[in-house]
Amino acid sequence: MSVKISDDLLSFFRDFVGDRLDDLIYCYSKPLPEAFRVNTLKVRKEVCLELLKDEGLDVVPVPFTVDGFYAKPEGVLSVSLWHMLGYVYVQGPVSMLITDLLEIEPGCRVLDLCAAPGSKATHIAQKQAGKGVLVANDVSRTRLKALASNMQRCGVVNGIITLADGRRFGYRHREFFDRVLVDAPCSSLGIGMKDWTVLKYWNPKTSIRLARLQTNLLFSGYSALKKGGILVYSTCTFHPYENEMVVSSLVEKHGDAEVVQLGLQNIEFDNGLEEWNQLRFSSEMKKTARIFPYQSGAEGFYVAKIRKRG
């Protein structure tokens, strides 16, 4: 079977990635590499790595993350006892990088506005080391079950799970959190290798519809952020409607929103766009980043880091 990509998406990609189109399609045809982090809420990193080595696993650090490792052979960890015990969390490496950007410290108050199934929420909790508070919210009751199960498996003791519409949540808790993550629902073009249907059915309306939701979520998340706090906005997709257009609208509306240079290391990425297809965005967008699968060797993401001046 070969990857089927809608005509709309092909024409967007031709324009957007140019001569990297074949590389992108090749990435879509391959499974993602298996990466994991050691859940230090349950076990010391060195102890766990030694256990995995004794099991015959070959483990190498992911160079662009703080906590990530690749594991070989693949497919072993996600069904292992270590996974069930919560010693390891199998997660895409770029997803781990997003949490690193939040600069979590033990003791801080964190809101994860769209948290299910909890890959980043459990990573945040690990960085908090049981100190401070993590509010992990999502609007989907079904997906909250997976979030709750992952939080429990990982031994998160300082987490509160809430079921609320993230578009309103932030206005009820204004300037309460030191860190806010808005990992927004998106068209998922960065993880098309997991599910080819997103490639087959994408059309521009998909991204336009999502952009409205994403903008509302971002504005709400920003309202919940304390002065001096950090918010990370991320999507696992590429379209500027869902990315620069959303972040730019926040920066233009809120004079105290400062876009922070990301300082990514050991990974290739594209700077965010200042304009696209007759749309002009804030010049601050060049401090945001778009990571394609052919650059990460894994998932694709867009990420922006914002500080609320104060």
Catalytic residues: 236
Q: Does 246 bind ligand SAM (CB under 6 A)?
A: no
Considering only residues 34 to 63 of the shown chain, the ones binding ligand SAM according to CB under 6 A are none
- Angle, nearest 10°, between helix axes 141-153 and 119-128? 40
Asked whether the bond before 117 is cis by omega within 30 degrees of 0, the reply is yes
Q: How far is the CB of 55 from ligand SAM (least distance, A)?
A: 26
Residue of closest CB approach to ligand SAM: 166
- Beta-carbon contacts of 300 under 8 Å, excluding residues fewer than 6 positions away, are 94, 189, 190, 191, 236, 237, 238, 290, 291, 292, 293
Q: Does 190 bind ligand SAM (CB under 6 A)?
A: no
Q: Does 210 bind ligand SAM (CB under 6 A)?
A: no
Query: Which helix (H) or strand (E) is 220 found in, with range?
Result: helix 204-223
Q: Where are the beta strands (DSSP E) in 155-205?
A: 159-163, 177-183
Q: Does 303 bind ligand SAM (CB under 6 A)?
A: no
- Tell me the backbone φ, ψ of residue 299, rounded to 5 degrees: -75, 165
Contact 31, 193 (CB under 8 A): yes
Q: Does 192 bind ligand SAM (CB under 6 A)?
A: no
Judged by phi (left if over 0) then psi (alpha if -120 to 50, else beta), residue 32 lies in beta
Q: Does 140 bind ligand SAM (CB under 6 A)?
A: yes
Stretch binding ligand SAM (CB under 6 A), from 14-22, 108-116, 239-247, 254-262: 108-116
The strand pair at 58-61 and 68-72 is best described as: antiparallel
Stretch binding ligand SAM (CB under 6 A), from 2-10, 110-118, 191-199, 259-267: 110-118
Binding ligand SAM by CB under 6 A: which of 165, 252, 256, 275? 165
Stretch binding ligand SAM (CB under 6 A), from 78-86, 164-172, 200-208, 281-289: 164-172
Residues contributing to the site for ligand SAM (CB under 6 A): 95, 113-120, 138-140, 143, 165-167, 183, 185
